[in-house]
Structure 1
Amino acid sequence: MSRYSKAALQQAYQHCWFVVARSQDISKPKSAVLLGKDLVVFRDKDGNARVTDRYCVHRGGDLAIGEVCDSGVRCPYHGWTFDGGTGKCTGIPALPDPAKFPPNAPAIRAYPVIERFAHVWTCLEEPMFDLPNPPEIQNLDLDWRAAEPIPVPIGFMAATENFNDMAHFAFVHAGSMGKVSPIVDAMQINRRGRELSTTIHYPSIPGSEFSSMGDAWMHYHAYAPGIATILYDYGEGGHRYLVDFPSPVGPESAIIYWGSATASDFKHGSADEILALETKVFDEDTPIVSRIVPKEVPLDGKVREFSCSADILTLNYRRAVMDVVDKIQERFGYVHSEAAE
């Protein structure tokens, strides 16, 4: 298995935080798939978001159609209950005496959880990095909206690259953005490890709803492998924020979780109006990116691509992803042969 093969990448990404649900969708158990792992996401009776294995260890009942109970989640098949924080079995209705529980107390696996940006995040193995709190929004009072998730038949890196790509605006987003110049001006990329940022000036386009708020500075800030953000600064018109964090279902499939927020100083519409506007943009992307080949960024170098200076941000994103993978492989002792594939 080579260093950046699909299998090696999937192994490394188990140590990264990814979204598995919107916070607003987990009042009842909800299924999710992350890196091929079947999960169930729910909010327990105390209001805590929980993520566990999806299937009961008894006879494989589907906890995603179970119900939340005092201890966590109850299997719909035989009623076994499991603590959402530890995965420990807390009840077997057929055996009300805990002393008669089967030996080696049955349990499902529970995973760490963080709620941030109006979404639920988890990590399948020991996290390599903390989930970031972007410094540029720490002093902003943000009104968040979590968008409808978008399933796509491409890898999550390809979806993240699309968010960070500016050269497609004139061709994919003519409907929402108007007559954007196809020229991508030179930009200064700041990259340190897995983190990268840049700023571009986005001039208002006459007749475009997207830029009806006026000129803006777009501050891009990304954290490899799969978190990308844009802070829109309209000067006296205030700020709004856009986040994108595609989650890997498998090597070549993802769910694009994303959201937007308006700051209290924003003077050009409500949070709902901005979400509707950005939804138009994402809806323009989906049919295009869903048909790209290869389906995922070819970090293993098996597919030859041709890049230009306009790709500087996405090329730096790839380097940041490789830096993440290298650090994970070194820390957790994953050894791969470059000549294996």
Structure 2
Amino acid sequence: MANLDVTLLPNHWYAVAASTDLVGTTPIAASLLDRQLVIYRTAGGQVVVLDDRCPHRGASLAYGQVKDNAIACPYHGWQFAPDGHCVHIPSQKTSARIPQVAKVATYPVQERYGLIWVFTGDRDRAGQTPLWELPEYEQPGWRVVQGQFDWAADYRRVTENGMDVAHSPFVHANSFGASGNEVIADFELEKSDRGAQIWIPIEPKANYRGSFNLLGRKQEPPKVGRSGAAFHLPNITRIDIEFGNFHLILVGIHQPTSATTTRSHWLHIRNFLTAGWADSGTRRRTAKLFQEDQRIIEGILPLRDRNEISVASDRLQLHYRQLWQQQCDRSLVTQG
């Protein structure tokens, strides 16, 4: 059994930046559990992700410039093509041979859901490993708002918080958490090979009726809705809130930037208030939600304590730990 130290599970797609972070061909830096990356877009729009260290003297390529679709080191101008190989060294004659070892590691990359995803592990498996699916993102009738939130916490703590159904009446009492809903109804785990989902009944807060009328619904609002919580390895969470025909989804893709820091790429998706005028309120409420969680999560130790006490309402998080640990152990055996 491996220990619980923070690690990247190999052979997964990890979001490392938002598409909007890339402006023109200007490169940006990103971090994936202390793995420093440089990301840039070629003139033709292709996204390239490389290790962010020039093999010459170790300068950060993220401070360089893109020239002829290659990234030029800001220190001595060495240029590296999208495949990672050095194609130009300004200080030597054009007839001189470029050392074969003058290259940087590259990563399979794809751009989807407004995010830049890289694949870690065996490159040959990237094409056979599908990206997690979010069908509502491309469907008409849904409004998507996206953003980022940073935590000083282990990404697995943040991921577990994103699927925790029992903390809302306490941590979010001043936002959406309704008092009197502390008891979590029995639920079944709907399992997949890389995740699980649960559904529980929920009651709206007292002011839900006013919100319902504001949205133009004249009929009696539903007294009971349902909430879904789900995870997908290694770091994706999804919360569904349904009241009648109203459906709200909050997705978190929790990027481990270091062993003790996390960046959550969040997506707020709804099938009501689909005009842009409501987006500022969505951003404000989502920020408040994360800030309420932040003061708790950042005060918890990293996920290394095997002596935590769990109860029935924690079964989704426990299943996450079990699957995460199984993949971690399997990767160690493979590497051995």
TM more than 0.5? yes
Contact 1:57 1:107 in 2 (8 A): yes
Q: 2:289 aligns with which of 275, 281, 292?
A: 281
Identify if the C-alpha distance between structure 1 residues 143 and 80 changes in structure 2 by more than 3 Å, giving closer, same or farther. Answer: farther
2:268: which partner in 1? 260
CA RMSD, Structure 1 to Structure 2 (Å): 2.9
Measure, in 2, the Cα distance between the counterparts of 1:41 and 1:143: 28
- After superposing the two structures, state which structure 1 stretch, 172-181 or 305-314, moved more: 172-181
Deviation for aligned residue 1:107: 1.1
1:106: which partner in 2? 102
Q: Which runs of 5+ in 2 are unaligned?
A: 216-220
2:112: which partner in 1? 116
AA aligned to 1:260 is H
Identify if the C-alpha distance between structure 1 residues 217 and 168 changes in structure 2 by more than 3 Å, giving closer, same or farther. Answer: same
- Provide the TM-score with structure 2 as the length reference: 0.84
Task: Please state if 1:246 is matched with 2:254.
Answer: yes
State the Cα deviation string for residues 49-76 of structure 1 (Å, max 9, x = none). Answer: 2211111122222111112232232211
Q: Which runs of 5+ in 1 are unaligned?
A: 336-341
Measure, in 1, the Cα distance between the counterparts of 2:188 and 2:149: 32
AA aligned to 2:198 is T
Measure, in 1, the Cα distance between the counterparts of 2:36 and 2:210: 38
Deviation for aligned residue 1:246: 1.2
AA aligned to 2:328 is V
1:24: which partner in 2? 20
Deviation for aligned residue 1:163: 0.6
Identify if the C-alpha distance between structure 1 residues 137 and 256 changes in structure 2 by more than 3 Å, giving closer, same or farther. Answer: closer
Deviation for aligned residue 1:157: 1.0
Identify if the C-alpha distance between structure 1 residues 5 and 256 changes in structure 2 by more than 3 Å, giving closer, same or farther. Answer: same
- After superposing the two structures, state which structure 1 stretch, 73-82 or 163-172, moved more: 73-82
2:335: which partner in 1? 334
Q: 1:224 aligns with which of 233, 238, 259?
A: 233
Q: 1:315 aligns with which of 318, 321, 329?
A: 318
Task: Please state if 1:58 is matched with 2:67.
Answer: no
Q: Secondary structure at the match of 1:123?
A: strand
Deviation for aligned residue 1:112: 1.2
AA aligned to 2:260 is E
Measure, in 1, the Cα distance between the counterparts of 2:276 and 2:50: 41
1:145: which partner in 2? 145
Measure, in 2, the Cα distance between the counterparts of 1:263 and 1:179: 22
Deviation for aligned residue 1:178: 4.8
Measure, in 1, the Cα distance between the counterparts of 2:233 and 2:70: 33
Identify if the C-alpha distance between structure 1 residues 108 and 210 changes in structure 2 by more than 3 Å, giving closer, same or farther. Answer: farther
AA aligned to 1:45 is A
2:218: which partner in 1? none
AA aligned to 1:74 is A
- Provide the TM-score with structure 1 as the length reference: 0.83
Identify if the C-alpha distance between structure 1 residues 140 and 230 changes in structure 2 by more than 3 Å, giving closer, same or farther. Answer: farther
Q: 1:303 aligns with which of 306, 310, 325?
A: 306
Deviation for aligned residue 1:22: 1.3
1:169: which partner in 2? 168
Q: Secondary structure at the match of 1:270?
A: helix
Identify if the C-alpha distance between structure 1 residues 23 and 135 changes in structure 2 by more than 3 Å, giving closer, same or farther. Answer: closer
Task: Please state if 1:292 is matched with 2:288.
Answer: no
Identify if the C-alpha distance between structure 1 residues 268 and 89 changes in structure 2 by more than 3 Å, giving closer, same or farther. Answer: closer
AA aligned to 1:88 is H
Matched ranges for 1:204-223 at <5 A? 204-207=204-207, 216-223=225-232
AA aligned to 1:17 is W
AA aligned to 1:229 is R
